[in-house]
Amino acid sequence: MNAKAVGRLAPSPTGAMHLGNVRTFMIAWLRSRAAGGRVILRIEDLDHPRDKPGAAAQAVEDLRWLGFDWDEEYVQSERIGLYRDALDRLLAAGLAYPCVCSRRDVAAAQSAPHAGEQLRYPGTCRGRFSSWAEAAAAKGGAPCWRFRTPPDAVVTFDDVFAGRFSQDVASALGDFPLARDENGAGYTLAVVVDDAAMGVTEVVRGDDLLPATPAQILVQRALGLPEPAYCHVPLVVGPDGLRLAKRHGDTRIATFRREGMRPEAVIGRLAATCGWAETGERLSLVDLLPRFDLATVPHAPIMI
């Protein structure tokens, strides 16, 4: 790590900012800032119709209130031309194709998928359509773009927090989706294009995305883009061990704020879960700069 580190905060405006996502953002911000590096805010608003009106502005307000700052700000829905260019390059290389299969079709082709397991796509639509328009007409609805995964696509990388991770993408996922949008404006393609375009060197995010990372690395390689360092940290879970959600009570930042809680109390509470503060200690993000240390962050899911 050095002062050239570029990290990013990439909220999806699909819901409110809460203790779970803020903990990950705190680690992401500190990892770059503690090294004297830069931070980018990127609003990932391509997930229609899950995106909620007003959620992006609320996320920015919550982050500022908590003491986050950043050097550049981007909104993915304003960058569709870049995703289109990347998609065209993949198409020209024969590495993308439109697919009309539904999730149910894919599940039916897989004999016994285990709970929570990602679906492996068997390549049904490979070579089937010559264009998106042809696929859309055959489906009578929107197809998706898939990546043509090579048969020997074993990807291994050293995650800064989670350690070495290896996946045979062909047997784990098969031809995975790049985007559900004609111009390629979807999560997998956009995250790869943007991390490279923004010079991101440090990807810090929840470890639910660890199994999706090898696919992203394949897309990076296909486009000739550099590979950032990955740091996947455990998610915050409720007492039932499931990812923090509404049913676990209201941990929205906007609610804490309305109730008169100070940002230092929120940050202090989250810092305590990383081994950087005593219980009840109040701290700003800046106070945490000298205390930041990934080595004290527990590897088990965090209960709040």
Active-site residue numbers?
A: 246
Among 10, 56, 185, 244, binds ligand GLU (CB under 6 A): 10
The residue among 87 and 233 lying less far from ligand GLU, judged by its C-beta, is: 233
Reported for 116-121, long-range contacts at CB under 8 A and 24+ positions apart, including other chains, are 118/172, 118/173, 118/211, 118/212, 119/173, 120/171, 120/172, 120/173, 120/174, 121/146, 121/173, 121/174, 121/175, 121/176, 121/177
Residue with the two structure tokens 């042809």 = 134
The one-letter code for the residue type at 298 is P
Dihedral, 62, 24, 210, 231 alpha carbons, nearest 10: 130
Residue 54, Cα to own-chain centre: how many angstroms? Answer: 20
39 to 68: interface string for ligand GLU, x by CB under 6 A: -----x------------------------
The residue among 159 and 287 lying less far from ligand GLU, judged by its C-beta, is: 159
Strands 154-159 and 163-168: antiparallel
Among 6, 7, 12, 267, binds ligand GLU (CB under 6 A): 12
Binding segment for ligand GLU (CB under 6 A), chosen from 6-14, 89-97, 145-153, 250-258, is 6-14
CA distance linking residue 282 with residue 85, whole number of Å: 47
Work out how close the CB of 153 gets to ligand GLU at its nearest, in angstroms, rounded to a whole number: 20
The one-letter code for the residue type at 41 is L
Contact between 149 and 170 (Cβ < 8 Å): yes
Binding segment for ligand GLU (CB under 6 A), chosen from 8-16, 70-78, 116-124, 133-141, is 8-16
Binding segment for ligand GLU (CB under 6 A), chosen from 4-12, 91-99, 227-235, 236-244, is 4-12
Among 87, 191, 210, 302, binds ligand GLU (CB under 6 A): 191
213 touches ligand GLU (CB under 6 A): no
Among 80, 160, 209, 304, binds ligand GLU (CB under 6 A): 209
The residue among 118 and 284 lying less far from ligand GLU, judged by its C-beta, is: 118
Question: Residue 147: which H helix or E strand, with range?
Answer: strand 144-147
> What residue ranges bind ligand GLU (CB under 6 A)?
10-12, 44, 191, 205, 209
